[in-house]
Chain A
Amino acid sequence: MRRLLASPDFRAGFAEMLPACIGILPFGVVCGVGAAAAGASWLAALGMSAIIFSGAAQILAVQLLSSGAPFAVIVLTCSVLGLRFLMYSAAMAPYLKGLPPRWQQALAFLLTDQAFASAIRRFNATDDPRAGAQHFLGCGVALYLCWQITSMIGYFAGNLIPTSWSLEFAVPLVFIALVAPLLRNFPNVVAAVVAGIAVLALDGLPMKLNLIAAGVIGIMAGTIADVARERWTRR
Protein backbone atom coordinates (compact mmCIF):
# COMPACT_ATOMS: atom_id res chain seq x y z
CA MET A 1 0.00 0.00 0.00
CA ARG A 2 2.74 2.41 1.00
CA ARG A 3 4.72 1.50 -2.07
CA LEU A 4 1.70 2.22 -4.21
CA LEU A 5 1.11 5.62 -2.63
CA ALA A 6 4.77 6.47 -3.22
CA SER A 7 4.72 5.44 -6.87
CA PRO A 8 5.28 8.37 -9.23
CA ASP A 9 2.45 7.27 -11.52
CA PHE A 10 -0.08 7.21 -8.69
CA ARG A 11 1.05 10.65 -7.55
CA ALA A 12 0.99 12.05 -11.07
CA GLY A 13 -2.57 10.82 -11.57
CA PHE A 14 -3.63 12.24 -8.21
CA ALA A 15 -2.10 15.64 -8.98
CA GLU A 16 -3.50 15.72 -12.49
CA MET A 17 -7.05 15.44 -11.13
CA LEU A 18 -6.81 18.34 -8.67
CA PRO A 19 -7.91 20.97 -11.22
CA ALA A 20 -10.82 18.69 -12.19
CA CYS A 21 -11.75 18.62 -8.51
CA ILE A 22 -12.42 22.36 -8.65
CA GLY A 23 -14.75 21.69 -11.57
CA ILE A 24 -16.73 19.01 -9.76
CA LEU A 25 -16.87 21.03 -6.50
CA PRO A 26 -20.20 22.71 -7.32
CA PHE A 27 -21.66 19.39 -8.47
CA GLY A 28 -20.65 17.65 -5.25
CA VAL A 29 -21.97 20.54 -3.16
CA VAL A 30 -25.29 20.43 -5.02
CA CYS A 31 -25.55 16.68 -4.32
CA GLY A 32 -25.03 17.31 -0.62
CA VAL A 33 -27.59 20.14 -0.60
CA GLY A 34 -30.07 17.87 -2.40
CA ALA A 35 -29.59 15.07 0.10
CA ALA A 36 -30.09 17.48 2.99
CA ALA A 37 -33.23 18.91 1.37
CA ALA A 38 -34.63 15.39 0.94
CA GLY A 39 -34.26 14.82 4.67
CA ALA A 40 -31.35 12.37 4.53
CA SER A 41 -29.08 12.02 7.57
CA TRP A 42 -25.45 13.06 7.09
CA LEU A 43 -24.48 9.40 7.11
CA ALA A 44 -26.97 8.58 4.35
CA ALA A 45 -25.76 11.60 2.35
CA LEU A 46 -22.18 10.37 2.70
CA GLY A 47 -23.25 6.79 1.94
CA MET A 48 -24.91 8.00 -1.21
CA SER A 49 -21.76 9.75 -2.45
CA ALA A 50 -19.48 6.92 -1.30
CA ILE A 51 -21.51 4.00 -2.69
CA ILE A 52 -23.28 5.41 -5.77
CA PHE A 53 -20.40 7.79 -6.69
CA SER A 54 -22.30 9.33 -9.59
CA GLY A 55 -23.67 12.86 -9.33
CA ALA A 56 -26.42 12.46 -11.89
CA ALA A 57 -27.70 9.21 -10.32
CA GLN A 58 -27.59 10.73 -6.82
CA ILE A 59 -29.58 13.80 -7.84
CA LEU A 60 -32.08 11.68 -9.76
CA ALA A 61 -32.52 9.35 -6.76
CA VAL A 62 -33.02 12.30 -4.41
CA GLN A 63 -35.59 13.92 -6.71
CA LEU A 64 -37.56 10.70 -7.04
CA LEU A 65 -37.39 10.01 -3.29
CA SER A 66 -38.69 13.51 -2.48
CA SER A 67 -41.58 13.09 -4.92
CA GLY A 68 -42.54 9.83 -3.24
CA ALA A 69 -41.84 7.52 -6.20
CA PRO A 70 -41.86 3.82 -5.30
CA PHE A 71 -38.60 1.94 -4.78
CA ALA A 72 -38.83 -0.06 -8.03
CA VAL A 73 -39.35 3.08 -10.14
CA ILE A 74 -36.37 4.82 -8.53
CA VAL A 75 -34.08 1.85 -9.13
CA LEU A 76 -35.30 1.37 -12.70
CA THR A 77 -34.92 5.06 -13.63
CA CYS A 78 -31.45 5.32 -12.07
CA SER A 79 -30.29 2.16 -13.80
CA VAL A 80 -31.22 3.53 -17.24
CA LEU A 81 -29.08 6.58 -16.45
CA GLY A 82 -26.29 4.24 -15.27
CA LEU A 83 -26.26 2.39 -18.60
CA ARG A 84 -23.75 4.92 -19.90
CA PHE A 85 -21.13 3.22 -17.71
CA LEU A 86 -21.40 0.18 -20.01
CA MET A 87 -19.98 2.44 -22.69
CA TYR A 88 -17.06 3.59 -20.53
CA SER A 89 -16.43 0.05 -19.35
CA ALA A 90 -16.19 -1.25 -22.92
CA ALA A 91 -13.85 1.60 -23.90
CA MET A 92 -11.62 1.02 -20.86
CA ALA A 93 -11.56 -2.80 -21.07
CA PRO A 94 -8.73 -3.22 -23.63
CA TYR A 95 -6.35 -1.17 -21.44
CA LEU A 96 -7.10 -3.16 -18.28
CA LYS A 97 -7.01 -6.60 -19.91
CA GLY A 98 -3.68 -7.86 -18.54
CA LEU A 99 -4.22 -6.65 -14.96
CA PRO A 100 -5.03 -8.88 -11.98
CA PRO A 101 -8.79 -9.14 -11.18
CA ARG A 102 -8.40 -7.13 -7.96
CA TRP A 103 -6.98 -4.19 -9.93
CA GLN A 104 -9.78 -4.46 -12.48
CA GLN A 105 -12.42 -4.49 -9.72
CA ALA A 106 -10.92 -1.47 -7.98
CA LEU A 107 -10.45 0.57 -11.14
CA ALA A 108 -13.99 -0.23 -12.35
CA PHE A 109 -15.38 1.23 -9.13
CA LEU A 110 -13.53 4.50 -9.78
CA LEU A 111 -14.67 4.81 -13.38
CA THR A 112 -16.16 8.26 -13.98
CA ASP A 113 -16.34 10.68 -16.90
CA GLN A 114 -13.35 12.72 -15.69
CA ALA A 115 -11.05 9.85 -14.69
CA PHE A 116 -11.92 8.07 -17.92
CA ALA A 117 -10.75 10.90 -20.18
CA SER A 118 -7.48 11.39 -18.31
CA ALA A 119 -6.71 7.65 -18.01
CA ILE A 120 -7.17 6.98 -21.73
CA ARG A 121 -4.56 9.65 -22.49
CA ARG A 122 -2.06 8.10 -20.05
CA PHE A 123 -2.62 4.52 -21.22
CA ASN A 124 -2.01 5.59 -24.80
CA ALA A 125 1.24 7.27 -23.77
CA THR A 126 2.78 4.23 -22.04
CA ASP A 127 3.58 0.60 -22.88
CA ASP A 128 3.46 -0.48 -19.24
CA PRO A 129 -0.14 -1.30 -18.22
CA ARG A 130 0.92 -1.26 -14.53
CA ALA A 131 2.03 2.35 -14.78
CA GLY A 132 -1.19 3.28 -16.56
CA ALA A 133 -3.24 1.48 -13.91
CA GLN A 134 -1.44 3.27 -11.08
CA HIS A 135 -2.03 6.59 -12.82
CA PHE A 136 -5.72 5.77 -13.22
CA LEU A 137 -5.91 4.75 -9.57
CA GLY A 138 -4.37 8.10 -8.59
CA CYS A 139 -6.97 9.97 -10.69
CA GLY A 140 -9.81 7.89 -9.26
CA VAL A 141 -8.76 8.25 -5.62
CA ALA A 142 -8.37 12.04 -5.97
CA LEU A 143 -11.85 12.39 -7.48
CA TYR A 144 -13.37 10.02 -4.94
CA LEU A 145 -11.98 11.93 -1.95
CA CYS A 146 -12.97 15.25 -3.48
CA TRP A 147 -16.49 13.94 -4.11
CA GLN A 148 -16.99 12.90 -0.46
CA ILE A 149 -15.61 16.20 0.88
CA THR A 150 -17.66 18.43 -1.44
CA SER A 151 -20.90 16.57 -0.80
CA MET A 152 -20.37 16.92 2.95
CA ILE A 153 -19.69 20.65 2.47
CA GLY A 154 -22.98 20.86 0.58
CA TYR A 155 -24.84 18.85 3.19
CA PHE A 156 -23.78 21.04 6.11
CA ALA A 157 -23.37 24.43 4.41
CA GLY A 158 -26.55 24.10 2.33
CA ASN A 159 -28.71 24.83 5.37
CA LEU A 160 -26.88 28.11 5.98
CA ILE A 161 -27.64 29.49 2.52
CA PRO A 162 -30.90 31.52 2.41
CA THR A 163 -33.67 30.12 0.18
CA SER A 164 -33.96 33.47 -1.60
CA TRP A 165 -30.68 32.60 -3.34
CA SER A 166 -32.54 29.84 -5.24
CA LEU A 167 -29.59 27.49 -4.79
CA GLU A 168 -31.70 24.58 -6.06
CA PHE A 169 -31.35 26.14 -9.53
CA ALA A 170 -27.70 25.01 -9.45
CA VAL A 171 -28.92 21.44 -10.03
CA PRO A 172 -30.36 21.96 -13.54
CA LEU A 173 -27.41 24.28 -14.30
CA VAL A 174 -24.89 21.52 -13.61
CA PHE A 175 -26.79 19.21 -15.94
CA ILE A 176 -27.10 21.92 -18.59
CA ALA A 177 -23.31 22.24 -18.42
CA LEU A 178 -23.06 18.53 -19.21
CA VAL A 179 -25.69 18.36 -21.96
CA ALA A 180 -25.24 21.60 -23.93
CA PRO A 181 -21.73 20.75 -25.25
CA LEU A 182 -23.11 17.41 -26.55
CA LEU A 183 -25.51 19.24 -28.83
CA ARG A 184 -22.88 19.72 -31.53
CA ASN A 185 -23.86 16.39 -33.02
CA PHE A 186 -27.16 15.78 -34.82
CA PRO A 187 -28.35 12.52 -33.18
CA ASN A 188 -27.68 13.99 -29.72
CA VAL A 189 -29.84 17.01 -30.61
CA VAL A 190 -32.63 14.66 -31.70
CA ALA A 191 -32.26 12.58 -28.51
CA ALA A 192 -32.40 15.69 -26.30
CA VAL A 193 -35.29 17.41 -28.11
CA VAL A 194 -37.44 14.27 -28.25
CA ALA A 195 -36.71 13.39 -24.61
CA GLY A 196 -37.50 16.98 -23.60
CA ILE A 197 -40.85 17.06 -25.40
CA ALA A 198 -41.72 13.59 -24.10
CA VAL A 199 -40.97 14.36 -20.46
CA LEU A 200 -43.32 17.37 -20.52
CA ALA A 201 -46.00 15.66 -22.61
CA LEU A 202 -46.01 12.64 -20.29
CA ASP A 203 -46.10 14.82 -17.15
CA GLY A 204 -49.43 13.21 -16.24
CA LEU A 205 -47.92 9.76 -15.74
CA PRO A 206 -47.92 8.63 -12.10
CA MET A 207 -44.81 7.94 -9.97
CA LYS A 208 -42.55 10.14 -12.12
CA LEU A 209 -42.58 7.43 -14.77
CA ASN A 210 -42.35 10.22 -17.35
CA LEU A 211 -38.59 10.47 -16.64
CA ILE A 212 -37.72 6.92 -17.61
CA ALA A 213 -40.28 6.86 -20.46
CA ALA A 214 -38.87 10.08 -21.93
CA GLY A 215 -35.31 8.83 -21.47
CA VAL A 216 -35.98 5.61 -23.36
CA ILE A 217 -37.93 7.40 -26.13
CA GLY A 218 -35.10 9.93 -26.47
CA ILE A 219 -32.43 7.22 -26.66
CA MET A 220 -34.43 5.43 -29.38
CA ALA A 221 -34.92 8.69 -31.30
CA GLY A 222 -31.19 9.46 -31.13
CA THR A 223 -30.30 5.96 -32.32
CA ILE A 224 -32.76 6.15 -35.22
CA ALA A 225 -31.38 9.58 -36.19
CA ASP A 226 -27.85 8.14 -36.07
CA VAL A 227 -28.78 5.21 -38.35
CA ALA A 228 -30.74 7.49 -40.70
CA ARG A 229 -27.85 9.94 -40.95
CA GLU A 230 -25.44 7.13 -41.76
CA ARG A 231 -27.69 5.80 -44.53
CA TRP A 232 -28.10 9.32 -45.88
CA THR A 233 -24.38 10.10 -46.04
CA ARG A 234 -23.56 6.71 -47.53
CA ARG A 235 -25.75 7.41 -50.53
Chain B
Amino acid sequence: MDATLKLWAVIVVVGLLNYLSRLSFIALFAQRSMPPMLERALKYVPAAMLTALILPMIVAGPVSGLTASAAMTFDPKIAAAIIAGVVAYFTRSTLITLALGMSALWLLQLLG
Protein backbone atom coordinates (compact mmCIF):
# COMPACT_ATOMS: atom_id res chain seq x y z
CA MET B 1 0.00 0.00 0.00
CA ASP B 2 1.19 3.51 -0.78
CA ALA B 3 2.62 5.13 2.37
CA THR B 4 0.53 8.31 2.19
CA LEU B 5 -2.65 6.37 1.51
CA LYS B 6 -1.90 3.98 4.36
CA LEU B 7 -1.30 6.88 6.76
CA TRP B 8 -4.61 8.54 5.86
CA ALA B 9 -6.47 5.23 6.00
CA VAL B 10 -5.09 4.71 9.54
CA ILE B 11 -6.10 8.26 10.54
CA VAL B 12 -9.66 7.89 9.26
CA VAL B 13 -10.32 4.34 10.50
CA VAL B 14 -8.68 4.78 13.93
CA GLY B 15 -10.43 8.15 14.27
CA LEU B 16 -13.78 6.59 13.43
CA LEU B 17 -13.30 3.67 15.83
CA ASN B 18 -12.25 6.05 18.61
CA TYR B 19 -15.33 8.17 17.95
CA LEU B 20 -17.62 5.14 18.03
CA SER B 21 -16.09 4.13 21.39
CA ARG B 22 -16.67 7.65 22.71
CA LEU B 23 -20.22 7.70 21.38
CA SER B 24 -21.09 4.16 22.50
CA PHE B 25 -22.93 4.51 25.78
CA ILE B 26 -23.82 8.18 25.27
CA ALA B 27 -25.84 7.53 22.10
CA LEU B 28 -25.48 4.13 20.42
CA PHE B 29 -26.57 1.93 23.33
CA ALA B 30 -27.88 4.59 25.65
CA GLN B 31 -30.66 2.29 26.87
CA ARG B 32 -28.29 -0.42 28.03
CA SER B 33 -25.98 -0.57 30.98
CA MET B 34 -22.49 -1.90 30.63
CA PRO B 35 -21.96 -5.61 31.40
CA PRO B 36 -20.24 -5.72 34.84
CA MET B 37 -17.35 -7.92 33.64
CA LEU B 38 -16.61 -5.56 30.72
CA GLU B 39 -16.70 -2.59 33.06
CA ARG B 40 -14.17 -4.32 35.29
CA ALA B 41 -11.84 -5.27 32.43
CA LEU B 42 -11.88 -1.79 30.86
CA LYS B 43 -10.41 -0.29 34.02
CA TYR B 44 -7.14 -2.07 33.24
CA VAL B 45 -6.82 -0.98 29.60
CA PRO B 46 -4.64 2.10 30.33
CA ALA B 47 -2.17 0.40 32.70
CA ALA B 48 -1.72 -2.67 30.46
CA MET B 49 -1.65 -1.00 27.04
CA LEU B 50 0.51 1.96 28.03
CA THR B 51 3.05 -0.24 29.81
CA ALA B 52 3.24 -2.46 26.73
CA LEU B 53 3.87 0.70 24.73
CA ILE B 54 6.48 2.18 27.10
CA LEU B 55 8.84 -0.75 27.73
CA PRO B 56 10.02 -1.43 24.17
CA MET B 57 10.85 2.29 23.83
CA ILE B 58 13.14 2.12 26.85
CA VAL B 59 14.61 -1.35 27.05
CA ALA B 60 15.39 -2.05 23.40
CA GLY B 61 17.52 0.69 21.91
CA PRO B 62 16.47 2.35 18.65
CA VAL B 63 19.08 0.30 16.78
CA SER B 64 19.13 -3.16 18.33
CA GLY B 65 16.04 -5.23 19.01
CA LEU B 66 17.96 -7.52 21.34
CA THR B 67 16.50 -6.90 24.78
CA ALA B 68 18.96 -9.30 26.41
CA SER B 69 22.06 -7.40 25.33
CA ALA B 70 20.48 -4.06 26.24
CA ALA B 71 19.84 -5.32 29.76
CA MET B 72 23.45 -6.41 30.16
CA THR B 73 24.98 -2.98 29.69
CA PHE B 74 24.16 0.12 31.71
CA ASP B 75 21.57 2.13 29.86
CA PRO B 76 20.89 5.75 30.92
CA LYS B 77 17.39 5.45 29.44
CA ILE B 78 16.39 2.70 31.89
CA ALA B 79 17.74 4.61 34.89
CA ALA B 80 16.09 7.86 33.76
CA ALA B 81 12.79 6.05 33.18
CA ILE B 82 12.86 4.61 36.71
CA ILE B 83 13.53 8.07 38.15
CA ALA B 84 10.67 9.48 36.05
CA GLY B 85 8.37 6.72 37.29
CA VAL B 86 9.07 7.57 40.92
CA VAL B 87 8.56 11.29 40.22
CA ALA B 88 5.28 10.65 38.38
CA TYR B 89 4.01 8.37 41.14
CA PHE B 90 4.41 11.07 43.77
CA THR B 91 3.72 14.28 41.80
CA ARG B 92 1.12 13.02 39.23
CA SER B 93 2.40 15.85 37.04
CA THR B 94 3.27 15.39 33.37
CA LEU B 95 5.33 18.58 33.29
CA ILE B 96 7.49 17.76 36.33
CA THR B 97 7.93 14.16 35.14
CA LEU B 98 9.07 15.37 31.71
CA ALA B 99 11.43 17.98 33.12
CA LEU B 100 13.09 15.69 35.66
CA GLY B 101 13.08 12.66 33.34
CA MET B 102 14.82 14.53 30.52
CA SER B 103 17.29 16.14 32.95
CA ALA B 104 18.10 12.74 34.42
CA LEU B 105 18.73 11.32 30.93
CA TRP B 106 21.02 14.19 29.93
CA LEU B 107 22.95 13.99 33.20
CA LEU B 108 23.38 10.21 32.97
CA GLN B 109 24.48 10.47 29.33
CA LEU B 110 27.08 13.08 30.36
CA LEU B 111 28.35 10.88 33.18
CA GLY B 112 28.24 7.64 31.18
Contact = CB atoms under 8 A, between A and B. Distances in A.
Contact of A85 (B18, B53, B60, B89): B18
Contacts, number: 275
Interface residues of B, number: 73
A40 interface: yes
Given A23-B95, A199-B52, A215-B52, A172 B81 contact: yes
Q: For this complex, into which size category does the number of interface residues on chain A fall?
A: 35 or more
Contacts of A194: 48
B63 interface: no
Nearest to B1: A71
A84 B21 CA distance: 8
A82 B17 contact: yes
25 contacts: A23-B95, A39-B3, A51-B15, A54-B18, A81-B49, A83-B21, A84-B45, A86-B42, A90-B39, A104-B27, A108-B23, A166-B109, A169-B105, A177-B98, A178-B46, A180-B84, A180-B89, A180-B97, A191-B44, A199-B52, A199-B55, A199-B56, A203-B65, A217-B48, A223-B44
Interface of A: 22-24, 26-27, 38-41, 44, 47-48, 51-54, 56-57, 59-61, 63, 65, 71, 74-75, 78-90, 92-93, 96-97, 101, 104-105, 107-109, 111, 165-166, 168-184, 187-189, 191-196, 198-200, 203, 210-211, 214-223, 226-227
